[in-house]
Amino acid sequence: MTTVSLDDLNAMDRAAFVGALGEVMEHSPWVADATHAARPFSSLAALHRAMVDAVRNAGAERQIALIKEHPDLAGKAAREGTMGADSVAEQSSVGLDRLTDEEFATFHRLNDAYRSKFGIPFIVCVRRHGKDSILRQFERRLRNDSAAEREAALTEIFRIAALRLDQRVAAADRLEVHGHLSTHVLDTHGGRPATGVSIEFCEITGGRTQVIERTLTNADGRTDRPLIADRPIPIAVYELRFGVGDYFVRQGVPLADPPFLGVVLVRFAVAEPEGHYHVPLLVTPWAYSTYRGS
């Protein structure tokens, strides 16, 4: 996706502005159009607030129309190719384009139940969720009343818009849409960072473990890059698998056979997609500890 600078946006005429930001709110260029008059924007945050205000001030009817422009999750629009490009990428990010038949049936059933209760599509900012979390959201929100769900839909639409702006617009400030997930292995047997420890970073979805990344600790006992950064951390259960047995073998430490600790598993859940999660491992051949650090 080509990005545009905030300065350039501030200088654009109405047509160019709507051309650049028309899809920030799904199939609803009128929001960008209504925002144009508020130029110039001193920050990306100010631009986002202006678009939110445009929706808030547009009245219930246009809000409902905006909501209804959104496709079902894992729905017909996806299969028929009528979904906006942003939505395609977003639904794909969480694997909604690669569902099993059983999962597809579940989504179908929930979409139908939701539409028949509320008359609108179920909207959630999918980049902030793993698949299990989306299903949990679905089930919880089905218990709401219509007013609460219209408000929830708008909240999610504004989150989606923030992420779309974050990807489209270059500015001095950044929207608070990014989480950070990192790890660190400290060898408390030798009193130093543990270097060269293999790490499998996995997501647990639907009871299955999927490896997201395989990496190694560097000289500081950290990974060269954070496990997740510059995007929301999907709400999900994760697992880090640390190859500590092989590490201590390489250190020449006398170990039991097989070693008491071979692969250490640390399973944890992320609940705040925009949060800072540091999950270190302190380890000897006979003991370890882990915690949510900072």
Q: Cα torsion at 22, 87, 232, 41 (round to 10°)?
A: 0
User: What 3-state class would DSSP assign to 268?
Assistant: strand
Give burial (CB, 10 Å; 0-12/13-18/19+) of 85. Answer: exposed
Identity of the residue, 54 or 236, whose beta carbon is nearer to a second copy in the bound complex:
236
Return the range that interacts with a second copy (CB under 8 A); candidates 30-38, 44-52, 93-101, 184-192: 184-192
User: What 3-state class would DSSP assign to 122?
Assistant: coil
Report if residue 195 touches a second copy, rule: CB under 8 A.
no
Structure tokens at 88: 């395609």
Q: For tokens 């930001």, what's the residue?
A: 21
Report if residue 216 touches a second copy, rule: CB under 8 A.
no
Identity of the residue, 87 or 223, whose beta carbon is nearer to a second copy in the bound complex:
223
Identity of the residue, 33 or 239, whose beta carbon is nearer to a second copy in the bound complex:
239
Rounded distance, CA 20 to CA 78, Å?
Answer: 24
Give burial (CB, 10 Å; 0-12/13-18/19+) of 276. Answer: middle
Phi, psi of 293 (to 5 degrees): -95, -165
Identity of the residue, 50 or 125, whose beta carbon is nearer to a second copy in the bound complex:
125
Return the range that interacts with a second copy (CB under 8 A); candidates 40-48, 75-83, 174-182, 286-294: 286-294
Report if residue 272 touches a second copy, rule: CB under 8 A.
yes
Report if residue 249 touches a second copy, rule: CB under 8 A.
no
**Count of residues of this chain found to bind a second copy when the rule CB under 8 A is applied:** 40
Report if residue 207 touches a second copy, rule: CB under 8 A.
no
Identity of the residue, 81 or 191, whose beta carbon is nearer to a second copy in the bound complex:
191
Instruction: Locate the DSSP E strands across 74-176.
Output: 169-170
> In this chain, which of 57, 190, 216, 230 binds a second copy, going by CB under 8 A?
190
Q: For tokens 């639907």, what's the residue?
A: 206
Report if residue 104 touches a second copy, rule: CB under 8 A.
no
Report the candidate in 236, 238, 288, 280 with the shortest Cα–Cα distance to residue 262.
288
Least Å from the CB of residue 235 to a second copy: 7
Least Å from the CB of residue 204 to a second copy: 10
Rounded distance, CA 104 to CA 236, Å?
Answer: 19
> In this chain, which of 79, 192, 214, 225 binds a second copy, going by CB under 8 A?
192
Phi, psi of 292 (to 5 degrees): -80, 110
Phi, psi of 124 (to 5 degrees): -145, 145
> In this chain, which of 12, 142, 237, 249 binds a second copy, going by CB under 8 A?
237
> In this chain, which of 6, 160, 161, 235 binds a second copy, going by CB under 8 A?
235
> In this chain, which of 188, 198, 215, 251 binds a second copy, going by CB under 8 A?
188
Binding site for a second copy (CB under 8 A): 133, 186, 188-193, 220-221, 235, 237, 239, 256-265, 267-269, 271-272, 282, 284-294
